[in-house]
Structure formats: structure tokens, C-alpha cells
């Protein structure tokens, strides 16, 4: 699991651990990754943390090699690592090119690199599952968030492309587009009266509540089992119905 030191990624790691999976937490924030792994280990499961920048090809390949060496195989890759949209908020006419490149490197290139390395390992064991975390924002029109939206939209397109190319090897690739989820990145925005009025009181989110990280985790788990082995290249909105109100 990439970016699994906190929030959605941590919830995904915990959900897989509950099912008895050996979990590897790949996290750029070393202390956060280690803390998450220690929590899972204390609960009696096998969980290890690896400090890694998933936008660095050599680091990604080394991690996959380590996973295969330790556990014998790699069955599931969850590409969750990303950087948030709001620190890079800017009108496209003023967005610095460096900000665009950082967003693409961290939110898109990382998905490709991890998927490539994982796919090579999965080919040796006749298949596996890749789940990419996109965002409902890719389908919305939100001023100032274009770089994030383009990156997350490209994750959806990449998911489709990977599904086609990896299908002959028994590798299933799907994506999830979360909506407003109760994480630290969204806490300040969701605490405002404006957000509550728009999304909850006025029903922009039809279910009239934010999602919990555990709800994303349950869907990721479902997409990583034989029960969903005949669905590939798809993106599922887990957003309380937000995409229905566009």
C-alpha cells in the first residue's frame, strides 16, 4: 500500500490486515509509516513499513524486490500515495510550471512506476490486483484545482490502459474515485459553515455526510478479491452520490 501512513491509506492497510494479509506500508513520511505498522503489528498481523518516494523509479523497484524476497510474491498493489490539491491551488493562467510538474510526478508518475514494478512481479505468479486511488474531483469543475484534476483524471485513463495491457497476464486493474472523506487534508475545509451548507444542508452530497476512510478501504478490498476478478479498467465513485449532482 503506498501512502499508507495515515488517512485512507492507513485504513486500507488495516482492512487488509484484518483479513490476514501481510501488509507493506510504503510511505514517504517514515515516522508515520512506522507508527502505522507498529499499530498493526500490535494487533497481531504482519506489517512492515518502508520509507520510500514512490516517484523515484529505483526506490520503487527496490521495494517490490524486497517484498517478493520476504514474502515470496506480490498479490495486491494499492496506489494511494498522492499530494493534496489545495497547496497548489492556482488559476491555470498563473500556475507555475514547477507546480504542475510536482503534481504530475507525485500523483501520476508514481502510479505508473509502482504499477510497472508490481506487474513484473505479478506476471511471475500468474496474476494479481492493482487498485488506483483517483478522486471525484477529476470529474468536477473546480476553479484553481486544474493540476490536481488533470493528474487524477489521468490516473483514470492510466487505469484503463493498464487493464488492457496487463489482462493477458491475469492482472486486474481498477480505480476508486473517493469524494469528501474525513481525513486531515479535508478537515479544515469540511469544518467551515460554507462547506456544511453546500454539501450537507443543501444536499450536494445526496447522503448528506462525508465518507469515512474505512468505507474506501472496504471497496479497495472488494476490488482485490476473486469476487471482482471479471471487472477491469473501471473507476468506481465512492462519494455519497456527489458525482450525481453535477
Count of residues in the chain: 246
In 3D space, the residue among 112, 13, 121, 114 whose CA is nearest the CA of residue 65 turns out to be: 121
DSSP string over 52-91: --TT-HHHHHHHHHHHHHHHS---EEEE-----SGGG---
In the predicted model, what is the mean pLDDT of residues 180-191?
Answer: 88
More confident residue, 89 or 227: 227
In 3D space, the residue among 66, 69, 65, 73 whose CA is nearest the CA of residue 21 turns out to be: 73
Give the pLDDT confidence of 84-135 residue by residue, as tens digits.
877 778 888 999 999 999 999 999 999 999 999 999 999 999 999 999 999 9
Domains and CATH numbers, the chain: 74-245 (3.40.50.720)
Q: How would residue 144 be classed by pLDDT, with cut points 50, 70 and 90?
A: confident
Q: How would residue 187 be classed by pLDDT, with cut points 50, 70 and 90?
A: confident
In 3D space, the residue among 216, 171, 7 whose CA is nearest the CA of residue 77 turns out to be: 171
Q: What's the pLDDT score for residue 115?
A: 98
Question: Who's near 158: CB < 8 A, 6+ residues apart?
Answer: 108, 111, 112, 115, 132
Tell me 131's DSSP state. E
In the predicted model, what is the mean pLDDT of residues 186-208?
Answer: 93
Q: What's the pLDDT score for residue 37?
A: 95
Q: What's the pLDDT score for residue 140?
A: 87
Q: How would residue 184 be classed by pLDDT, with cut points 50, 70 and 90?
A: confident
Q: How would residue 48 be classed by pLDDT, with cut points 50, 70 and 90?
A: very high
Residue 88 annotated among the catalytic residues of the structure:
no
pTM of the full structure: 0.95
Task: Name residue, grid cell 465518507.
Answer: 211
Question: What phi and psi, each to the nearest 5 degrees, are found at residue 43?
Answer: -85, 0
The mean-pLDDT minimum among 28-37, 66-75, 85-94 falls in 85-94
How far apart CA 207 and CA 46 sit, in angstroms, is 36
Q: Which of 88, 138, 148, 169 is catalytic?
A: 148
Q: What's the pLDDT score for residue 243?
A: 94
Give the pLDDT confidence of 55-66 residue by residue, as tens digits.
999 999 999 999
Q: How would residue 141 be classed by pLDDT, with cut points 50, 70 and 90?
A: confident
Amino acid at each position: 500500500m503506498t501512502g499508507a501512513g495515515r488517512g485512507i491509506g492507513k485504513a486500507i492497510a488495516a482492512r487488509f490486515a484484518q483479513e490476514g494479509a501481510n501488509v507493506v506500508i510504503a510511505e514517504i513520511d517514515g515516522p508515520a509509516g512506522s507508527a502505522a505498522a507498529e499499530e498493526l503489528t500490535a494487533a497481531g498481523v504482519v506489517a512492515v513499513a518502508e520509507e520510500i518516494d514512490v516517484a523515484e523509479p529505483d526506490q520503487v523497484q527496490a521495494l517490490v524486490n524486497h517484498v517478493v524476497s520476504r514474502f515470496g510474491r506480490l498479490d495486491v498493489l494499492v496506489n494511494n500515495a498522492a499530494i493534496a490539491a489545495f497547496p497548489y491551488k492556482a488559476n491555470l493562467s498563473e500556475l507555475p510550471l514547477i507546480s504542475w510538474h510536482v503534481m504530475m510526478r507525485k500523483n501520476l508518475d508514481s502510479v505508473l512506476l509502482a504499477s510497472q514494478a508490481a506487474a513484473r512481479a505479478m506476471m511471475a505468479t500468474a496474476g494479481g490486483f492493482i487498485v488506483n486511488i483517483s478522486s471525484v474531483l477529476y470529474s468536477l469543475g473546480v476553479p484553481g484545482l486544474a493540476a490536481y484534476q488533470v493528474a487524477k483524471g489521468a490516473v483514470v485513463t492510466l487505469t484503463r490502459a493498464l487493464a488492457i495491457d496487463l489482462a493477458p497476464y491475469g492482472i486486474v486493474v481498477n480505480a476508486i474515485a473517493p469524494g469528501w472523506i474525513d481525513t486531515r487534508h479535508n478537515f479544515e475545509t469540511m469544518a467551515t459553515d460554507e462547506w456544511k451548507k453546500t454539501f450537507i444542508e443543501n444536499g450536494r452530497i445526496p447522503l448528506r455526510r462525508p465518507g469515512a476512510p474505512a468505507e474506501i478501504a472496504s471497496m479497495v478490498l472488494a476490488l482485490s478479491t476473486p469476487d471482482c476478478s471479471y471487472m477491469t479498467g473501471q473507476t468506481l465513485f465512492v462519494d455519497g452520490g456527489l458525482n450525481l449532482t453535477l
